[in-house]
Chains A and B, each alone.
Chain A
Amino acid sequence: MDIPYTVEERPDTGLNNAKLGIWLFLASEVMLFGGLFSAYIFLRIGAPEWPGTMAGQTFATSFEVLNVPIGTFNTFVLIASSVTMVMSWASLMMKDFKKYKLYMGLTILLALAFLVVKGFEYGGKFSAGMFPSESTFLAIYFTLTGLHGLHVIGGIVVNAYFWGPGAKMWETDPDRFTNRIEIAGLYWHFVDLVWIFLFPTIYLL
């Protein structure tokens, strides 16, 4: 017996299973990052100085420690990837599979670009002797951006699957495939949304 409402919507809730499932998952993600932000606030208001002393130097503001232009560039990259993601879904809605492949490919490339830039940023910090153990500021910076980076990697894996082998479903069950891209998109936009809050709170405040 088939499981109902995998593709079609249940009349009284107006949702299919996967749509509700992903929103519930995102709700738990809100609480995960909420816990981390709470920890950040708790430590920050208790700190005598911020960002404070690390690797032998004392800093008065976060943007002396972190590289704001690079952070801003990465924000642009991630927002752009969100746009290409939603465009890949819209292409499927307009039954244009070629455009879907193009936009999804772009999304993956932009996500990779984000990680490469982040990698250089981390590398720069490490070579300057700035490790997570140096100060609470760096500990928070590495933990929060690191966990966000893991979410980016997760998104790349999912999107790459739907760009490559998973895209075969377009032939057999296009409605369901479109649903799947919408679900993957919801996750990806959430990763973008987290960064929108991470960037100012860590880099600029």
Chain B
Amino acid sequence: MGHSTSIEEVKKHVKTYYMVFGALMVLTVVTVAIAYLHLSIIPALILALFVATIKGSLVACYFMHLISEKNMVYLTLGITMLFFVFMIGIFIFAYYGQEGVYVVP
């Protein structure tokens, strides 16, 4: 977000911020509502993470302006997310790979 951004453009941004604010509020209610459905763990997990990811993306894209960021930032975050996924993925893999551990349905 450079300083070439004009005041009119910023005013447009402000509108977006309030729309995102509304969406985040609604999605928070949705998250809690899902929890009261008492789903079993796997669908509950998938739904909760799905909603949280949407909320997180809204914050990152609009409040943090990630939607119009420079390639160097995308590159850095891309590498980071890759290692983040590796770490969580391999941890789960490593847990179930242990000898004598069975998947509890």
Q: Which residues of A contact B (CB under 8 A)?
A: 9, 13-15, 19-20, 23-24, 27, 30-31, 34-35, 37-38, 41-42, 45-46, 61, 63, 68, 72, 75-76, 79-80, 82-83, 85-87, 90, 93-95, 175, 178, 182, 185-186, 189-190, 192-193, 196-197, 199-201, 203-205
Contact = CB atoms under 8 A, between A and B. Distances in A.
Contacts of A27: 76-77, 79-80
Contact of A38 (B1, B29, B45, B88): B88
Given A90-B14, A205-B41, 15 more contacts: A15-B72, A30-B77, A34-B88, A41-B91, A41-B92, A45-B92, A82-B63, A85-B63, A94-B7, A190-B64, A192-B59, A197-B52, A199-B31, A200-B51, A204-B48
A175 B1 CA distance: 12
A194 to B, nearest CB: 9
Contacts of B63: 82-83, 85-86, 185, 189, 192
Contacts of B96: 45
Given A45-B92, A193-B60, A23 B31 contact: no
Contacts of A192: 59, 63
A19 B92 CA distance: 34
B76 A15 contact: no
Contact of A41 (B25, B72, B88): B88
A196 B11 CA distance: 27
B17 A87 contact: yes
A20 B80 CA distance: 14
Contacts, number: 133
Interface size class of chain B, counting residues whose CB lies under 8 Å from the partner chain = 35 or more
A75 B48 CA distance: 15
Which secondary structure dominates where chain B touches chain A? helix
Contact of A14 (B13, B21, B51, B70): B70
Nearest to A82: B63
Given A83-B18, A196-B55, A189 B28 contact: no
Contacts of A185: 63-64
Interface string B5-47: 1010011011001101100110011011011001001001100
B83 A205 contact: no
B89 to A, nearest CB: 9
Contact of B10 (A46, A94, A200): A94
B97 to A, nearest CB: 12
Most chain A beta-carbon contacts within 10 A, residue among B3, B18, B34, B101: B3
B28 A72 contact: yes
Nearest to B48: A200
A178 B3 contact: yes
